[in-house]
């Protein structure tokens, strides 16, 4: 049950929840007095007590001695409900939250990737002329024609640098493709430790795929077995992996100080890589 806190036409139970959200614990008598003072409550003490009793039976409140407070379990349920709504409405493009820290949960890599592509040029992550991506490995992502167009447009407008830790056949294939679109790609670089990161707009974005041990073993086998990328239908294999159901969590950090710090780290890494490449050329 969700209570409409802050509404101009609240029920007595909603007003009780709102009061206990600010002051706790309270006896039924003290709660009644606060209801009268804040809302000009005209009902009887018995009506207020009846509302408290109903909330207690609904597990919204807990009672210790004569004192009442909101149930921690109910609060957690409400947080989960609102987080789920925030996820769904953000992913559907209905809202553009300005929170400093945000977590979005997806049910597949494909869904998470679609979200990032769709939001890349929308201002959702903020705006900037530079973008940095650090990943442990690259893999061929099947793209629709519209996604290809969005990515190409983003790379034309935004100077994008990609760092990748691995330097295998797949990384070389994807590197060539991204370079063709306009990205600057560096493979075989000590980066993405401990996890991937994306500097886009004014946000630091991380995507965490919650693989099982079986998934890790399967991916390692797949990467290590591809010696000749032309002999394997890699797009079909990776398309299947992206659509499989597995939990993916995207975290978005919009705190300016953290963004500036991570940006400096990426700029420092780019200078190091550029000097190394100049010496080896």
How much of the chain exceeds pLDDT 70, in percent?
91
CATH code: domain of residue 268: 3.30.870.10
Q: What angle do CA 187, 191, 197 make, to 5 degrees?
A: 105
pLDDT reading at 271 higher than 90? yes
Q: Is residue 89 part of a domain?
A: no
CB–CB of 208/249 below 8 Å?
Answer: yes
Token duo for residue 275: 């000097």
Same domain, 63 and 108: no
- For residue 197, the cross-strand partners are 134
List beta partners, residue 209: 248
Is 81 contained in some domain? Answer: no
Q: What pLDDT does 77 receive?
A: 85
CB atoms < 10 A from the CB of 144, how many?
10
Query: CB within 8 A of 271, min separation 6: which ones?
Result: none
Are 34 and 104 contained in the same domain?
Answer: no
Cα separations (Å) of 22 from 31, 36, 50, 62, 185?
Answer: 11, 16, 21, 15, 52
Report, as an integer, the average pLDDT of 111-124. Answer: 88
127-158 per-position pLDDT tens digit: 999 999 999 988 887 788 888 888 888 999 99
Same domain as 266, residue 164: yes
Which of 56, 111, 74, 57 shows the shortest CA–CA distance to 250? 111
Residues 118 and 251 placed together within one structural domain of the fold? yes
Q: Is residue 274 part of a domain?
A: yes
In this structure, are 106 and 58 located in the same domain? no
79's enclosing H/E stretch is helix 72-91
> What is the distance between the alpha carbons of residues 204 and 262, in angstroms, rounded to a whole number?
8
For residues 243 and 97, what is the distance between their CA atoms, to the nearest angstrom?
Answer: 27
Q: What are phi and psi of 262, to 5 degrees?
A: -70, -35
Higher pLDDT: 203 or 173? It is 203
Q: Is the pLDDT of residue 169 over 90?
A: no
**Structural domain contains residue 7:** no
- Write out the residue range of the structural domain in which residue 63 sits: 12-70
265 and 179 in a common domain = yes
- Judgement on whether residues 109 and 144 belong to the same structural domain of the protein: yes
CATH number assigned to the domain comprising residue 40: 1.10.10.10
Average pLDDT over residues 183-210: 92
Residue 54 lies in a domain: yes
Six-digit token pair at 126? 């903020």
pLDDT class of 69 with cuts at 50, 70, 90: very high
| Across 8-32, average pLDDT | 87
pLDDT at position 225 is 67
- pLDDT at residue 78, rounded to an integer: 84
Question: 265 with 142, same domain?
Answer: yes
Q: Same structural domain for residues 123 and 216? A: yes
SS3 58: coil
19 and 132 co-located in one domain? no
Rounded CA separation 135/145 (Å): 24
Q: Report in angstroms the alpha-carbon separations of 205 from 210, 224, 255, 256.
A: 16, 28, 11, 13
Count of the separate structural domains present in the chain: 2
Domain identity same for 136 and 26 = no
Mean pLDDT of the chain: 86
């Amino acid at each position: 049950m969700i209570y409409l806190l802050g509404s101009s036409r609240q029920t007595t139970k909603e007003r009780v929840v709102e009061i206990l959200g600010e002051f706790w614990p309270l006896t039924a008598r003290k709660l009644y007095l606060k209801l009268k003072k804040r809302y000009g409550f005209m009902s009887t003490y018995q009506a207020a007590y009846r509302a408290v009793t109903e909330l207690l039976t609904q597990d919204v409140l807990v009672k210790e001695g004569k004192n009442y407070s909101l149930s921690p379990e109910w609060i957690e349920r409400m947080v989960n409900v609102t987080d789920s709504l925030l996820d769904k409405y953000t992913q559907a493009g209905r809202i553009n939250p300005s929170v400093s820290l945000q977590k979005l949960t997806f049910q597949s890599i494909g869904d998470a990737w679609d979200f990032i592509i769709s939001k890349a040029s929308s201002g959702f992550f903020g705006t900037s002329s530079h973008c940095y991506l650090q990943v442990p490995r690259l893999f061929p992502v099947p793209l629709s024609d519209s996604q290809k167009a969005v990515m190409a447009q983003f790379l034309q407008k935004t100077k994008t640098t990609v760092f990748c830790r691995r330097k295998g056949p797949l990384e070389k294939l994807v590197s060539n493709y991204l370079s063709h679109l306009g990205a600057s790609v560096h493979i075989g670089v000590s980066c993405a430790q401990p996890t991937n990161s994306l500097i886009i707009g004014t946000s630091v974005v991380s995507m965490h795929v919650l693989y099982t041990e079986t998934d890790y073993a399967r991916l390692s086998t797949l990467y290590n077995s591809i010696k000749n990328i032309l002999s394997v239908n890699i797009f079909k294999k990776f398309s299947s992996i992206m659509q499989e159901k597995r939990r993916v969590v995207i975290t978005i950090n919009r705190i300016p100080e953290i963004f500036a710090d991570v940006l400096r780290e990426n700029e420092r890494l780019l200078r190091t890589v550029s000097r190394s490449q100049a010496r080896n050329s």
